[in-house]
A = this chain, B = another copy of it.
Amino acid sequence: MSMILSALENIPLIRQGDNLADIVLNATNFSLLDNDIFVLAQKIVSKSEGRMVNLANVKPSEKAIELANQTEKDARLVELMLQESNEVVRFRKNVIVVEHKLGFICANAGIDHSNVLGDGDNKDVVLLLPENPDNSAKQIRDEIKKRTNKNVGVMIIDSHGRAWRNGTVGICIGLSGIPAVIDERGWKDLFGYTLQATIIGVADELAAAASLVMGQAAEGTPVVHVRGFPYPLSEGSLRELIRPKDMDMFR
């Protein structure tokens, strides 16, 4: 069994209002199959949805100013981080770790400062995460279905730092038509033992795989096509990937 991940060439710079299903299909120079998956970088989804904010228009609250002083960050940026978050989990110089409004833990509320515009040099423009990435993924998936009659999965990924380990890894922040986790509890292993506690984070495993193929910086390949995902496609949601706070030993 093989899984093939291919970065799509010829994805143009994305601007607000762009139709990503269109752009992805235009860049797909082969026949789609049912159960194929497209993995999209968060950045292009946010851009197409107009999630750019000019810091010049942000007025920091007192709380943001205080946290900005403690972390040596731009208070306007910190204000956006607070607006995008349920709570601040940890902070220190240069890093603010939050529970994002979407439920997951991440640094700096996922707000991105690089590669935002591409059509100017305004370093004050930052990019927020999509408002509802599961829904963004579903829209793209539905549109692809409509145009091709193929049942594909769509995932939106970001790069997150992690507790305990160095290096960012791709993680899933939204998905449609792809299982988020596979619950193998109760399955038998090769020798008939019943597995006790295996829930596999297949969406995050796929996100990491796609992120590796995308690269990070200058490559400009924000869409990866996946063939051979080893589980049947089914409907998953971001919510399934987030450990409830009271079940988390590291909050």
Contacts and interface: CB of A to CB of B under 8 A. Distances in A.
Contacts of A97: 249
A181 B193 contact: no
Contacts of A199: 166-168
Nearest to A170: B205
Nearest to A239: B166
Contacts of A169: 200-201, 204-205, 208
A118 B52 CA distance: 56
A132 interface: no
10 contacts: A2-B4, A2-B6, A3-B5, A3-B209, A95-B249, A114-B196, A118-B191, A188-B217, A200-B211, A202-B212
A46 interface: no
A191 B34 CA distance: 36
Given A2-B6, A115-B189, 17 more contacts: A3-B213, A90-B249, A113-B196, A115-B191, A123-B193, A159-B200, A163-B163, A164-B250, A165-B201, A165-B243, A167-B181, A167-B200, A187-B217, A189-B217, A198-B216, A205-B209, A206-B212
